[in-house]
Structure 1
Amino acid sequence: MLSLILAVFVQTCIAGYVIEDDYSKDAFFGNFTPFTDPDPTNGFVVYQNYENATQQGLMASVANYGSANYMGVDNTSISTAGRPSMRISSTKTYNQGLFIADIAHIPVGCGTWPAYWLVGPNWPTGGEIDIIEGVNLQATNQMTLHTNAGCTIGTTGMASTSTVNTTNCDTNASNQKKNAGCSIMTSDTRSFGAGFNAIGGGVYATEWTSQYIDIYFFPRSSIPSDITSGHPNPSSWGTPMAHYAGNCDINQHFTNMNIVFDTTLCGQWAGAEDVWGVSSCANTSATCNAHAQLLPSAFTEAYWLINGMQVYQEAGSSNTTKREVGRRGFVQW
């Protein structure tokens, strides 16, 4: 008996990351809750519940799209209230982990503002990790952390294709534009928008620990075999696209986070005068809202195709143990 216990203990210690939740195929939408409140970023959208979204053709699962789950924006109607769209949030919250999302298509086009992110309670107190985000015809991905005061990052430890735009994650940092957070931009045109979709997408992997938050991107043709086999090993992946570490207590600033996918239109970023007005999108309409209201056919490419997503935890980690206790009806961490 002792030898068996020791064998299990040793196996657990060397197992690395083990799967905790599998958001794949038919299990995907069932593990998320639709958000139907007004868009907090003032986007020209009306977020739909599952029933309405299904009736309008804004969501569909495996049967219609091969191995992917489809989540789109209305591209047929004209509405003064806002274009029907979707935002979904995981029913479960997390404290650290390895988040691997296999995505085949990202919403693209003038007026679009798609995002895949993690967010905690009482924003920005619980933090925000923007893994995929961009607007309009943006060609590369922007990754950002948002927190309250007391979290800054360094400028090293990431791929040479990445640039740190801002280093203070505080949404009210005095020396940065409001809500800028600590932002890292990649120059890899395969990472977002039309370039991402042209190659059939790929995998975004986010490793969130108490010491750092790393974001990796692997194009479809170069996804590591340890990911496809279900045994991810970040130590073998090389330099991340974004590396967040520095003068920041990650355990304090990032807590109880939900996974979110959404597509908003226009709003505080895509529709801002200093963004819309200086882009080629302004050639279609004087304002982003007019574009979103009057040109439904412009949003035929404004959809997500998500092949699946997995969340892993380090074997034997206290984080996993505490979450398991929470599911048994005791205090949730």
Structure 2
Amino acid sequence: MQSLRLLLMTQWLLLFLPICTASYILKDDYGNDERFFDKFDFFTEADPTRGYVSYVNRSTAKLTSLISASNGSVYLGVDNKNPAWGPGRRSVRLTSHQSYNHGLIILDLAHMPGTVCGTWPAFWMIGTVPPTAGEIDIIEGINEGPLNQVTLHTNQDGCIVKNSGFSGSLGRQNCYIYSTGPAGAGGCGIVDPYPESYGGIFNAVGGGVYATEWTSDVIRVWRFPRSKIPGNMQSGSPDPSTWGTPVASFSGSCNIDAQFNNLHLVFDITFCGDWAGGAWASSRLCAPKAPTCFEYVRNNPRAFEESYWRVNSLKVYQRT
């Protein structure tokens, strides 16, 4: 009888006690030493975006100081000492071994590639056979553009996102990679309105954190300056519901699970190519520097001294 009474009291109390469970738990910690590189493939094929770049393997990157790890951070850079030749300027493109379906990706950067003419850096997610599994561009920009653009690309038409729930500026609502509209062709992009979101100014204020939440209902991106990183993120118990309005949020008439699946994390720095090269002639700041993007990148190695990533940490969380 006593046991039955205790059981009933326990069940009654559970009805009124708050359920305290962590929203996200750590799945993958990429670290900030040489073992960081063990978790990535070094892409060495021709640039799919037709950039003026030569992606090198791990041993070459190490030998030529394009990668390193020291003082609690990882460095990923480009050749900034020699004129380019052959397929283009030497650089690295890393693709994670692990692929993901949903999650919370938190990237702490001490430095991202600066705003430099001819460059096209990105931190993004893509499937094994692009673009069939979709693409999420978290950090991306070209040339001396001062703002970050977050973009989704889908291989199927029908992903239409609503223009609300975020602080950035939406260029197009159709995320189809072959869509056209006022912002150019391909995908739905949201531009962060603040210069500290990207390049040289992001670096000048001490870097910060980009956090990307991917669920069946929404894909959202937040940016936090170093002084405003959420406490629950720093403690290892991130709770996006407490982070306020994201810079970018993609939801609406879009079957996210059908459009995005098995995506890998990618870091790269390419040069010229479809976007940066295509915008060269119309760039008020870059066009006067050389007749073409290729010529500028080939002949001005010192211009790319700020073209590097310095990663403090990269962590991927998943729901319990």
Question: Is the TM-score greater than 0.5?
Answer: yes
Root-mean-square deviation (CA, aligned residues, Å) is 1.8
Aligned to 2:75: 70
Work out the CA distance in 1 between the residues paired with 2:220 and 2:205. 23
Work out the CA distance in 1 between the residues paired with 2:92 and 2:218. 31
Query: What is the identity, as a one-letter code, of the residue corresponding to 1:24?
Result: G
* Aligned-residue offset at 1:124: 2.0
Aligned to 1:83: 89
Deviates more, 1:224-233 or 1:254-263: 224-233
* Aligned-residue offset at 1:175: 4.5
TM-score, reference length from structure 1: 0.87
What do the CA deviations read for 1:23-71 (whole angstroms, capped 9, x no partner)?
Answer: 1112321111100000001111100101000111100012xxx221000
What do the CA deviations read for 1:53-104 (whole angstroms, capped 9, x no partner)?
Answer: 0111100012xxx221000010111133110000000000000000000011
Work out the CA distance in 2 between the residues paired with 1:271 and 1:11. 56
Work out the CA distance in 2 between the residues paired with 1:253 and 1:12. 33
Aligned to 1:259: 265
The structure-2 alpha-carbon separation of the partners of 1:174 and 1:267, relative to structure 1 and needing over 3 Å to count, comes to closer
The structure-2 alpha-carbon separation of the partners of 1:44 and 1:257, relative to structure 1 and needing over 3 Å to count, comes to same
> Which blocks of at least 5 consecutive residues in structure 1 are unaligned?
316-333
Q: How many residues align?
A: 302
* Aligned-residue offset at 1:179: 4.5
Does 1:140 find its partner at 2:147? yes
* Aligned-residue offset at 1:301: 0.6
Query: What is the identity, as a one-letter code, of the residue corresponding to 2:46?
Result: P
Does 1:29 find its partner at 2:37? yes
Instruction: Give 1:117-156 correspondences, 5 Å limit.
Output: 117-148=124-155, 149-156=157-164
Does 1:314 find its partner at 2:319? yes
Work out the CA distance in 2 between the residues paired with 1:21 and 1:60. 21
Checking the alignment, whether the CA contact within 8 Å between 2:280 and 2:287 is kept in structure 1 is no
Work out the CA distance in 2 between the residues paired with 1:188 and 1:79. 33
Work out the CA distance in 2 between the residues paired with 1:293 and 1:313. 43
* Aligned-residue offset at 1:136: 0.8
Aligned to 1:322: none
Does 1:214 find its partner at 2:187? no
Work out the CA distance in 2 between the residues paired with 1:213 and 1:116. 15
The structure-2 alpha-carbon separation of the partners of 1:11 and 1:18, relative to structure 1 and needing over 3 Å to count, comes to farther
Which has the higher Rg, Structure 1 or Structure 2?
2
Deviates more, 1:21-30 or 1:84-93: 21-30
Checking the alignment, whether the CA contact within 8 Å between 1:104 and 1:307 is kept in structure 2 is yes
Query: What is the identity, as a one-letter code, of the residue corresponding to 2:29?
Result: D
Structure 1 residue corresponding to 2:242, chosen from 236, 242, 248? 236
Work out the CA distance in 2 between the residues paired with 1:38 and 1:209. 33
Q: What percentage of aligned pairs have identical amino acids?
A: 45
* Aligned-residue offset at 1:279: 2.9
> 3-state DSSP class of the match of 1:24?
coil
Aligned to 2:14: none
The structure-2 alpha-carbon separation of the partners of 1:178 and 1:282, relative to structure 1 and needing over 3 Å to count, comes to closer
> 3-state DSSP class of the match of 1:123?
coil
> 3-state DSSP class of the match of 1:139?
coil
